[in-house]
Amino acid sequence: MDVDELRRLPPFAGLTDVGLQRLAVRAAELRAAGGQVLALEGDPGAGMFVLCDGNVEVELRMGKLELGPGDFFGELALLVDDGARVARVRATTPVRCVSIPRDDFLALVETEPSFALHMLRELARRLAEARAAV
């Protein structure tokens, strides 16, 4: 995945050139067919994903969440040592996404304030929506 395509994804829009270059080298592109499961609740978290194309459904105990291009998932398991996935994630359409290994995710959080802030804002928004739905 090239730097320009990464820069167009909202979580990476504010990354420095150095951060984007590092991400371009380390991230992998993942494609999945509609219906394919991308993450299972309880599995160890090895990386996070940012959707480039397509949609996924995050199946939580309290309900479902639809995510589309520019959204991310899989980050919660990476924020805790030996963290496990908290939801099942299934592609509802053909999907293309960026997969970021745990160590690279943590390096981005530690060195790229815009990335960390984007993540925090989105997690806070999701938590607020979940509370409102209860």
Domains, the chain, with CATH or none: 3-133 (2.60.120.10)
Count other Cβ atoms within 10 Å, centred on residue 73.
Answer: 21
| pLDDT for res 128 | 85
Say yes or no to pLDDT of 110 above 80: yes
pLDDT in tens, 11-59: 999 999 999 999 999 999 999 999 999 999 999 998 999 999 999 999 9
When pLDDT is cut at 50, 70 and 90, the band that residue 134 belongs to is low
| pLDDT for res 69 | 97
pLDDT, greater one: 1 or 107: 107
Count other Cβ atoms within 10 Å, centred on residue 74.
Answer: 25
How big is the CA angle at 111 (ends 24 and 76), to the nearest 5 degrees? 80
DSSP codes, 21-66: HHHHHH-EEEEE-TT-EEE-TTSB--EEEEEEES-EEEEETTEEEE
Q: What is the pTM assigned to this prediction?
A: 0.92
